[in-house]
Structure 1
């Protein structure tokens, strides 16, 4: 492809008609501008994209970047009187979108130059417009088509993915200034990628030719400046899996692909390793690769590396390499993020409830119900005030105050807050609580937040003693659990019995009992008395202390 050139002639008339001369004499400090013609540069050999009827708009721009004169069609811009100053004359395609990309995008031309307007003087100005985009096409050799019967090819860039189906002969326009990568997908998670250029140049044509090789992949570029053309030849290995370097396919391995990290794996069978074994990885939509050193598993030829942080619900590419030896390119997609509502506990509602006296029954949701988060307030307010309530105590918005209280019939009620359901069952209080809500998001690896704790003054007597020890002070607990079906697959707990008077950060790492399953249910629980949920019949029998109070705020789940 030849460089497309438009030459826009902007001329200040050397001899103005007498009426203009008298106007200039009266307007000292002004110059006279006239756009006399727009012409097509006849020296350009290839003119398939432009004709002499190309619509060109013109802007006259002052030093403060203000357009002082505009014409959608240069023919409409006639005599213009301008104050003495320096102006930018900008000419561009009037009816096309410079940002458009793909086969349907039209060529967009632009150019500009500066001119200094002097009092009572005329100057000739010429603006040369050229193609503002780049072009790209892909051609597959017959050898390539024979070697790979089933493949798909795309050219990818910044927010760009152009499919080049088999025998596609058209070229596509793309924005200048971006990197371009050709990607060949062979199916089954196997693909080949090669960057064409780090930065596309305006008015250049990138002709990509895909061929095959029996050895390692190769990449060659030849540039013809006279016609503004890059001839890019990419030779793809016919054998996509090398016996020397084998990239492990983790696409369907749940234990290795998480929400914001992944464990890459591969095998290096080289007899002599002269360079460090590494992995390269990137988002499929990106062109730039990141590199990370691989760690060898002792006594094997297996290598692995943890890459983080990654983006949720995003497809990545990766391969193993050592020196000039590489494994095939494989892909995986990270787990999606699903928000847990009201983790900052700033949303609360209440309704009046109670047996004889109506009291505020507080709910940590916006709909006056235990619809996602729940508490035992619905049962407590039958006889007492809510013991799980919002408070304003120095942190941003609301915090949660959970208090252990004595209550008729069950004996005690620990303040609690949890993801799940609560429906009061006086004949079987233990069944009032159902922990967990459906969850389809990425697996978290840690729960953190802020807490204060004041254990009650004295432990109750006659309580059931934990099998591992006797409590001398009440304990608060914050924990998270995840299930796959009915199977618990991950859990983490934070327990404390100290008096903590200032908000303090807590962290609760999550231990996965089974990393080969994804969760479909989650709960987070906070309670002022760890054993406040131990029942025998209708009575609480767990060790606890009346008056124990836990404050919590701003929970956060981490994913790497």
Structure 2
């Protein structure tokens, strides 16, 4: 999901006349796009009337036009675009987010806009996710006084409480149904069921019913409880799943449990080879183990030993078993169907794990059990094997790599003289970093290092002393600092941060085209916008303008943004500047606009700048806490959000 950066500077939050879609000055001509959208709905979703958003991307995949509601804004009447190639993406709802009665429609096409020509394009939108409803048989409802089902997968979860008839929409992938029951005696039970092979645009009806006789198992030898009865109606794109629940089995239902012993923080153990203490894993699966999947992340075990990345201990092949035995991996004699506790003692295996290249090697393991009732449980743990050397340099976690600072970590046997050295990868001279004392464990030490250059490769190493007091060095670790505000081509992720570049542009105001001041360089696409176009609809006012005199005396600082509150034809217009773009004027005192621009740069740590502000008493109207006679307020802020598209603001509906 793309990140969007949204920042705004304003004297009052946008009230009054605003402006509509930007029509950019183009050097290569412009043409009109007439866009038609067709919704391909299935039988189960004909009543759905989705709000379709349209994003138009240029050849560089930058969003040049965003329409929050295609039908409401009547965008089918024509869209003015610069000549060139475009992708048109239409979407409604979110495919990766579970929601009630809100399917995700998605469609995409490409088109070519030619100078002074009209281009027609059609996008067919199809449902891109899965619909799920839950129902219960009459005998089921009589036996249980309360019941609910939580359906979930990676897209999220929805709980179908008693009496819920709405449909939920999920990503088209494996579904997990968790049923919570209360019987006539007040006893509570919980069951989990899993259903795979989920397809998009299908309606899955989960029907729970009482059924099954423990004395008369089905053809597969099961006493019931799985997704036993599945009916697919291809003509209606419907899958009916009948799920029998056996009363006799409820008292024995309990989800599997894992218990780790001997591990530290984050389920990790760190030691030199041969120095690991006891560690073990206990598994309890009262319904019987059906599958016990082990996933391994380890360069040496996979690339050197040839161990597969994942294997099922309950159905283990001979070759994999031989390789596991070579590192003393504990393998119980019987796993499949076992209902007793299983104990895995990893002490001997942990001391057989090796370290290579004189640096710490980490071996990650994940155990996932599925029992006979398709209930799952997982647990992860790891061993970090340190090399048998006097000084160790630790890898830097990705989360600790910033544009101008990072954290060094090391371990030394010596009690003094420990610290670090670092240099640019292209330099030969090391820069020392002193450390006053070790951490609480008495072994490791660390340092916060700042003053680094963005997007630059460095090398660092830990330093210690041997028994004779001579310096010894740990392994060298390479790292690269994060981006600041420029990519590898020296192009800023956030352009015109100093508000030095301005231009005069022409675009549609409330009724006709107007000239207005824009906080963007002449030939650059719109990144920053203001309410100038709307405010200029009646006369030239430009509440937001370029200021060249009152500026901070800093090198290369040419201009600043001057934000002034003005009254235009009796209507208040606030000075404001923000990342995003106006969409349309609403009446005479409202606007639809989009906040936010795509952001793919490094992680910001702060917003730095300068402002000069002369507040005045509110003397016209007011807004919420800014009543007439109160002192005006200035707002300056920045937010980094996980948005797929800009956030649409509608000032008339107070949707901020």
Higher relative contact order (CA 8 A, sep 6+): 2
TM-score, scaled relative to structure 1: 0.41
The structure that is strand-richer by fraction is 1
Larger radius of gyration: 1
